[in-house]
Amino acid sequence: AQSVAQPEDQVNVAEGNPLTVKCTYSVSGNPYLFWYVQYPNRGLQFLLKYITGDNLVKGSYGFEAEFNKSQTSFHLKKPSALVSDSALYFCAVRDRVAAGNNRKLIWGLGTSLAVNP
Amino acid sequence: GAGVSQSPSNKVTEKGKDVELRCDPISGHTALYWYRQSLGQGLEFLIYFQGNSAPDKSGLPSDRFSAERTGGSVSTLTIQRTQQEDSAVYLCASSQLAGDYNEQFFGPGTRLTVL
């Protein structure tokens, strides 16, 4: 079965420190991978995605993520965290060769990031 | 251009009543999704429309839930005989057809409270 795991419910980092939000996945084929962010009292926003090519993808607000096929991971990173990065982060995956009902996006349960001043 | 819009933004109803939630996707987007998000929880997939294909209804929690998409654009999610456990934020998203690597654009959601 296809699945996405975000092993940490919450991540706490100090402002200025690097942050990592973890995501691992299980799909039968090669994946498209996404990160979304939900700021407090705001809607979900797309952050970045991996389609093909360079395993390191850069997205909005200084975030980046690295696709690691052997570890089936797509961890979200930022070199220097800001208090304003505090939000709920969701990882999502779609099997690029899936058909029918397996084409929908599979979502992780989310990781709450708290950046402390 | 306009983003995904949803109405109403808030809905308070009594247990047992029916409710309709509306979603206007981004113009030209052929894929439309409904999700449910309970307080502090992740996204729960409900239903997915893709063009003229049969919708993927695999996420609908019971037969009280239904959705339709008219003319390939506006969608309505209907919950019949609402229960207190239906209280949640209902999110709609749309994406372009061209390739499954397209990101989803989310509306602001409808907060449903069932008393």
Q: How do residues B36-60 score in pLDDT, each as one tens digit?
A: 998 767 889 999 998 888 888 999 9
Q: Nearest chain B Cα to A37, which residue?
A: B106
The answer to whether B105 contacts chain A (CB < 8 Å) is: yes
What pLDDT was estimated at residue B53? 84
Q: Look at residue A2 and tell me whether its pLDDT is greater than 70.
A: yes
* Confidence grade of residue A75 (pLDDT, cut at 50, 70, 90): very high
pLDDT for A101:
57
Pick from B49, B106, B110, B111 the residue to mutate for testing the A interface (most A CBs within 10 Å). B106
What CA dihedral angle connects B69, B1, A60 and B51, to 10 degrees? 20
Give the A:B interface size as CB pairs under 8 Å. Answer: 50
Instruction: Look over chain A and give the mean of its residue pLDDT values, rounded to a whole number.
Output: 91
Question: Residue B72, by phi and psi: left (phi above 0), alpha (psi -120 to 50) or beta?
Answer: left
Residues in B touching A36 (Cβ below 8 Å): 104
Contacts of A36 (CB under 8 A, 6+ apart): A44, A45, A46, A47, A89, A90, A92, B104
Predicted local distance difference test score (pLDDT) of residue B66: 97
Distance from CA of B101 to the nearest CA of A (A): 6
Contact: A96, B41; criterion CB under 8 Å: no
What does the pLDDT look like over B10-29, one tens digit per residue? 999 999 999 999 999 999 89
B100 to chain A: nearest residue by CA? A96
Q: Is the pLDDT of residue A99 over 70?
A: no
Residues on chain A touching B50 (C-beta within 8 angstroms) = 103
pLDDT at position B42: 81
For the record, the structure tokens of B50 come out as 């893709």
Query: Which of A116, A109, A77, A106 lies closest to A8 in space, CA to CA?
Result: A109
CA distance B41 to chain A (A): 7
Bridge partners, B22 (sequence order):
B7, B76
pLDDT value at residue B104: 93
Task: Please say if the pLDDT value at position A67 is more than 90.
Answer: yes
Please give the single-letter amino acid code of residue B87.
S
Of A5-19, A57-71, B98-112, the least confident = B98-112
Label residue A29 by pLDDT band (50, 70, 90). confident
Tokens of A74: 């797509």
